[in-house]
Amino acid sequence: MGAGSVKGMVKKAGVGLVLKLVGIPGLIFGAVAVALTMSLVMLMLFMGAGAASAKDEHDTQAAATTAGSTCQVDAAEGEGSGGSRVEVPEAFKQPVKDAAKTSGLPEEIVAAQIQQESGFSTTVSSPVGAQGPAQFMPATWETYGEGGDVNDPEDAMAGYGRYMKHLLEVSKPKADKNEGGPDAARLAVASYNAGEAAPGLEDGEIPPYEETQNYVQIIFDGAQEDFSVECSQVSGGEVSEVELGDGEWAKPLPGGQHTSGYGKRNIMPGCADGDYNLTNGCHANFHLGTDIATPGAGTSPGGTVVAPTKAEVVCVPGMEFDGMVQLKVTNGEDSELLLNFLHLAEQNVKVGDTVERGDPIGVEGNTGKTSFGTHLHLEAMKPGTPACKKPWERDDKGELYNVNPEPILKEKGSL
């Protein structure tokens, strides 16, 4: 008998013995049990590997956001940790400091205003007769110039300092009339543009001129974004509309690039200036947030979106509203404003969750009717805004809940 035949007989005998001991049902049950056990072992190994991978991704993400949160905006003098956004010419550096001291305004606001008026030019003049770096009208220069040269940086900035001191002094009692309205610095800057007798100023309001309202916003945004030291909030001018403390923030989309800012834009044709009505679609001509995008993402899901700081998840309407996740800042240092993250391809949190700085909350996406490419649209809403308020909703005074997020994010080094 050959070796093969012997092995065959042994094999048959073994099978026969098993069948005799447990029967066919028992044999089938045992086979199924072994298969299930092996499957369970493989699933546990897979889940463990997945959990480890997720933890590694989270740890890497948190490290990247922490490392990337150092503010890069420099002062007017070019000091700080990064490249200067706007450099004040050498001939203006000391005059700007002196004008700030005379007027009582922060240097950042002085620099931003002269940048807006003339770009620090000593030769520019306007069609209506304004002259010099501070663009004085002849009658105003005669009062505050004290016989100096309107085109000379020192003389012009000295006259500017005296004039802004006057405007700030007369604006303080006007600002007191409207509690919670524009502060004295904004009213003074508005007066510089529109004149002291412009409508609204006496009641503590910015004049109802689109030019003046844009002028004030440009200067105060520029003071924060272009001239602030290490992104610290500009003192005295209340540049951001939300009070901020010392809370440390991370970049909400590490590796992303700023692609679109807050404010007016021309998308919807046929709309009148200032018409941002939801019903006719003209609201598309005002961007209520700021956009950040991962380069090369196209229309596919992009990078991981993370919580800039410790926060509570207060609303996740998800795909019902452009893939939104809404957080309330709860770091104990900054105001409890709401942050809206829109167009997310995935939402990885639920209402009631608490997230720490750098924790993933979703994936950058292209969801919603107003999205035309993968990006993160980030908005800020004033402290006290009820959860789940959507962009363009207003309070009982008719005021928007939304505020400009860019000065906030710039101060925190998150943009």
Report the C-alpha gap between 230 and 413 in whole angstroms.
Answer: 8
Q: Contact at 8 Å (CB) between 115 and 85?
A: no
Q: What are the tokens at 222?
A: 């520029």
Q: Contact at 8 Å (CB) between 183 and 73?
A: no
- Which residues lie below 8 Å from residue 385, measured CB to CB, with a gap of 6+? 337, 338, 401
Active-site residue flag, 117: yes
- Which residues lie below 8 Å from residue 195, measured CB to CB, with a gap of 6+? none
Which DSSP helix (H) or strand (E) runs through 403?
Answer: strand 402-403
Instruction: Indicate which residue of 108, 117, 205, 411 is catalytic.
Output: 117
Q: For every residue of 248-306, which 3-state class applies, written as one string?
A: CCCCCCCCCEEEECCEECCCCCCCCCCCCCCCCCHHHHEECCEEEECCCCCCCCCCEEE
The pair phi, psi for residue 34, each rounded to 5°, is -60, -40
Q: Where are the alpha helices (DSSP H) in 78-209?
A: 90-103, 107-118, 138-144, 153-177, 184-194
Cβ neighbours, 10 Å, residue 402: 24
Q: What are the tokens at 136?
A: 């004085």
Q: Contact at 8 Å (CB) between 344 and 367?
A: yes
Strand order in the sheet with 304-306: 304-306, 360-364, 344-347
Q: Contact at 8 Å (CB) between 175 and 183?
A: yes
Nearest to 167 by CA among 194, 183, 146, 185: 185
Which residues form the catalytic set?
117
